[in-house]
Structures are given as C-alpha cells and as structure tokens.
C-alpha cells in the first residue's frame, strides 16, 4: 500500500512538472506597450537636452531603460510613420505612402500583417487608444474599410487624425465603432485614462497584452491644461512646452498603473514620436539643433526621441547611439514575444535587441526614407553605417553626409567623395526599385494626396 502510494505520488509530481514549462512560458511572455507622441521633436524633453521643458516621466523612463540618441521615425510625416511601426515595412512598401486625409484610396490594407494581429493569434489581448490615421477621413469608422479591429485590436478608441477642435474637450473619438461624443478634459490624459480602464477593468488578466497609446500632443491645434502651463510662466512658448508636459503626465499615469498592477517588470515599454516637430522653432518644437523639420528627410524631420524599458533585459540608464527606426518596433516586439517574423514578404525593420546593449544591428534592408511633401531637394534618404545620402524626388541631385561626425548636416561631401557618393546612390536606387515593385505604386503614381492646381498641401 505504501509502495503504491509512493509511486502514485511520484507520478503526480512528474505530471505537475511536465505542466510547469507550458505555464511558465506563457507567464514569461512580455506585455507590449508602445506610447507614441505626435510631432514631438528630438530636442523636446529634458533628457534630450531641453533646458526649458519639464518632462519628469520621460526622464524617469530613460533612467529605467535605454535612451537612443539616434532613433528615427520611418517617415517625416504622420500616417506613413505609423504604418511602419505596425507592419515593420517602409511606408511605400506597405502602401501608406502619404498623410491620409480627404478621400484618397490609400489606407493600411488588410493584406498587411501587423504585430498586434500576430500577437493576438499568439494569445495576446490587444488594445489601441488615441490617434489612428491609417485610412482617409472618408474611410474612418466605415465597415467597408479596415479599422483598428481589422488590424488586430480587440478593443479600440480612436480619432481619425487630430483631436478636434483641439486637445481640449475633443469631440471626435470613436470607441469600438461608436462615437464617444464630447470629452470633458484634455486629450493625452483622457487617452491614458482609457488605457488604464482597459488594463484594470476589461482585459483578461490571465493573458499577456499589447497596448498602443498614440496621443495627439504636441500636434496642432494645441491646447494645454492650466497645471501644465504653470511651469513656464510668461514664456511665449509656454503653450507648447506645457503640451509636452501634458503628454509626459499621461505617460506617467500609464507607468504608475503598470506598477500598481504589478505589470511593469514583465512589460516591454517603448516611447517615441511619429516624426520631427511642426512649423518653425518659434512655435516651440525643437530638433535639438538638427537640420530640417517635420516632412524633411533631413535629421530634424526624422530623428526623434526613442526610449525602451524592459526590466531584466535592459540595464537601467543605458544610452545607445546605435541607429534604430520605427519599423524596428515590429520585429523587436515579435522577437520579445517569441513569435516568428513573417517570411512571405519583405520586412524592413530589424530587431533592436542588440542595440539595447549598444551592439550594432545587422540589417537586410538599409534605413530608407521617402516623402512627397518636403523641400524638393530632400525627399529621399538612405543611411548605411555612418553615412547618409539625401536626394531630390527624381534622385538626380544628392547631398552626402557623415552623420556621426556631422549630425547637423552642414557639410555636404557629395563633390569631395565621389566614390562614397556612387556607393550610396546604388544602394538608394536599388532599395527604391525593390520597394516600388512590391508596394501599390498605382496609389502614388496617381498622387491623389496632392491638391489640384498646385494649392497648399494640408499636412
């Protein structure tokens, strides 16, 4: 009887041990949070050199993880940059080649594979709150066109584009297909509140989760709550500076919620911006001294804040100068979650994981940018190692820079280094031909985003 009990006990223990790896593996899958600012410049936080802006939570996040000094958006304008984050594919390849407004055909197609959809299939709960801007105005919240739920989000609350009429009391949010109505409050804190509500009250706590928080600040039209203005007194840029502090406050709310729920230790949290700052420096947006601004493929238009926290995987307080780009987010979160990268299409993004320790990233596709609304002389760019080539739209006029030595792009080396120029021209042209072949070229060949008669572009 005793021997039988002993065998039964051993058998029971063995059965339990066989079950543990499966449960442990599930428990170890990291949660994914991507917090995206809108039009925030590379110099728009204290930890990126601002001596004006109060950004305690962004700074705290940098101390807890890795701060990238050469993080890039995948495009100098909104919609394309966001499409690359979700798909890992450069905008012209995934089809979202332009800022999406009006009634053009471009949108994030259901044929594209997003990381939320892949992680959803792998057992993740998924949520998107904030700006969307991945279909045109006439397509948003219309069932015949793909919405956030069609791209892998179980729950979503979004605006098509900007908060309207401004960040104060916006009235254009839609929650899971139903209009929210007028909001009493300011955009970023409201978006953070919705994210926390989903975390606390809606998601299945037994499952890992994906949470996208895409705030509207500091995109125009700006509105800043009084507590965040108080830091800046009579400074003429107080409204803008306070708007950064407002989004920083929202980030802090999310960080606190993760801590309170015991989720922070197993969460990969990425903070970045969709492109460089809007308008002139007089409005307040800072490129940190870099040349160009939003829409440009010069550094000021595409270099953005980039901070990643992943406890146990990233040493707190790390600073990395390894170049990373928005499309890398796709590949990075899939690697972190143990989900295979799609092999049926070109994935432009590479995993950032080596760069968390300052190690170089091995890329199959070089860093590449193209926009149609910038200065005509800087609409295409490619970067290989320390070198960056900037070209006009037809790629017959070039500027060559050593970005490591000349991040402000003051010294055009195109004439003095003809061999390096030819080397990067070849890379640029070959990369573009490959992208053009795969993407829906009929969309940009029609150029439906441009107004008739050469009028002002509404970007």
Residue 447 is predicted with a pLDDT of 61
Residue 20 is predicted with a pLDDT of 36
What value does the mean pLDDT of the chain take?
91
Residue 374 is predicted with a pLDDT of 79
Buried b (16+ CB within 10 A) or exposed e, 221-255: ebbbbeebbeebeeeebbbbbbbbbbbbbbbbbbb
Residue 299 is predicted with a pLDDT of 98
Residue 373 is predicted with a pLDDT of 86
**Nearest 10 degrees: CA dihedral of 233, 237, 242, 247?**
-170
Query: Which of the following is catalytic: 99, 128, 133, 372?
Result: 133
Residue 89 is predicted with a pLDDT of 98
Fold classification of 368-454 (topology level): Arylsulfatase, C-terminal domain (3.30.1120)
**Which range is least confidently modeled, 21-25, 66-70, 216-220, 356-360?**
21-25
Whether the pLDDT of residue 370 is over 60: the answer is: yes
Q: What is the mean pLDDT of residues 331-356?
A: 98
How large a percentage of the chain has pLDDT more than 90? Answer: 87
Query: Which of the following is catalytic: 75, 78, 127, 378?
Result: 78
Residue 40 is predicted with a pLDDT of 98
Architecture of domain 29-362: 3-Layer(aba) Sandwich (3.40)
Q: Where are the domains of the chain?
A: 29-362, 368-454
> For residue 229, what pLDDT band results from cuts at 50, 70 and 90?
very high
Residues 305-343 have pLDDT tens digits of: 999 999 999 999 999 999 999 999 999 999 999 999 999
Residues 148-164 have pLDDT tens digits of: 999 999 999 999 999 99
167 classed as catalytic = no
**Which range is least confidently modeled, 4-13, 44-53, 246-255?**
4-13
**Which range is least confidently modeled, 114-123, 136-145, 314-323?**
136-145
Phi-psi region of 77 (alpha: psi -120 to 50; beta: other; left: phi over 0): beta
> For residue 372, what pLDDT band results from cuts at 50, 70 and 90?
confident
Residues 203-220 have pLDDT tens digits of: 999 999 999 999 999 999
378 classed as catalytic = no
Residues 380-415 have pLDDT tens digits of: 999 999 999 999 999 999 999 999 999 999 999 999
Predicted structure pTM score: 0.91
């Amino acid at each position: 009887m005793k021997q039988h009990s002993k065998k039964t006990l051993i058998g029971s223990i063995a059965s339990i041990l066989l079950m543990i790896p499966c449960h442990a593996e599930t428990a170890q899958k990291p949660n994914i949070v991507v917090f995206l600012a809108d039009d925030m410049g590379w110099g728009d936080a204290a930890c990126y050199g601002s001596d004006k802006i109060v950004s305690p939570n962004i700074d705290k996040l940098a101390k807890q993880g890795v701060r990238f000094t050469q993080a890039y958006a995948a495009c100098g304008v909104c919609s394309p940059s966001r499409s690359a984050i979700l798909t890992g594919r450069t905008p012209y390849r995934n089809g979202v080649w332009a800022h999406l407004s009006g009634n053009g055909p471009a949108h994030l197609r259901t044929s594209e594979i997003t990381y939320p959809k892949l992680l959803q299939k792998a057992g993740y709960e998924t949520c998107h709150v904030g700006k969307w801007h991945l279909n045109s105005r006439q397509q948003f919240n219309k069932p015949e066109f793909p919405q956030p739920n069609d791209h892998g989000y179980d729950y979503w609350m979004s605006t098509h584009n900007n908060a309207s009429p401004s960040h104060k009391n916006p009235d254009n949010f839609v929650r899971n297909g139903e209009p929210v109505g007028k909001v009493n409050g300011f955009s970023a804190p409201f978006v953070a509140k919705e994210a926390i509500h989903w975390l606390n009250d809606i998601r299945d706590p037994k499952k890992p989760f994906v949470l996208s928080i895409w705030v509207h600040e500091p995109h125009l039209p700006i509105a800043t709550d009084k507590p965040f203005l108080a830091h800046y007194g009579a400074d003429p840029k107080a409204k803008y500076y306070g708007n950064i502090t407002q989004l920083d406050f929202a980030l802090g709310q999310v960080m606190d919620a993760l801590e309170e729920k015991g989720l922070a230790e197993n969460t990969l949290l990425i903070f970045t911006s969709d492109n460089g700052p809007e308008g002139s420096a007089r409005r307040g947006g800072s490129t940190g001294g870099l040349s160009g601004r939003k829409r440009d493929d010069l550094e000021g238009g595409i270099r953005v804040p980039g901070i990643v926290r992943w406890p146990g995987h990233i040493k707190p307080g790390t600073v990395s100068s390894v170049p990373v780009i928005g499309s890398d987010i796709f590949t990075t979160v899939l690697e972190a979650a143990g989900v295979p990268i799609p092999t049926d299409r070109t994935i432009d993004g590479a995993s950032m994981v080596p760069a968390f320790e300052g190690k170089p990233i091995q890329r199959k596709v070089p860093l590449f940018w193209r926009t149609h609304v910038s200065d005509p002389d800087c609409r295409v760019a490619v970067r290989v190692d320390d070198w960056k080539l900037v070209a006009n739209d037809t790629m017959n006029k070039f500027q060559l820079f050593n970005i490591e030595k000349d991040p402000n792009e003051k010294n055009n080396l195109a004439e003095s280094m003809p061999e390096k120029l030819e080397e990067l021209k070849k890379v640029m042209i070959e990369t573009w031909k490959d992208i053009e072949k795969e993407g829906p070229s009929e969309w940009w060949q029609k150029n439906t985003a441009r107004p008739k008669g050469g009028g002002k572009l509404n970007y």
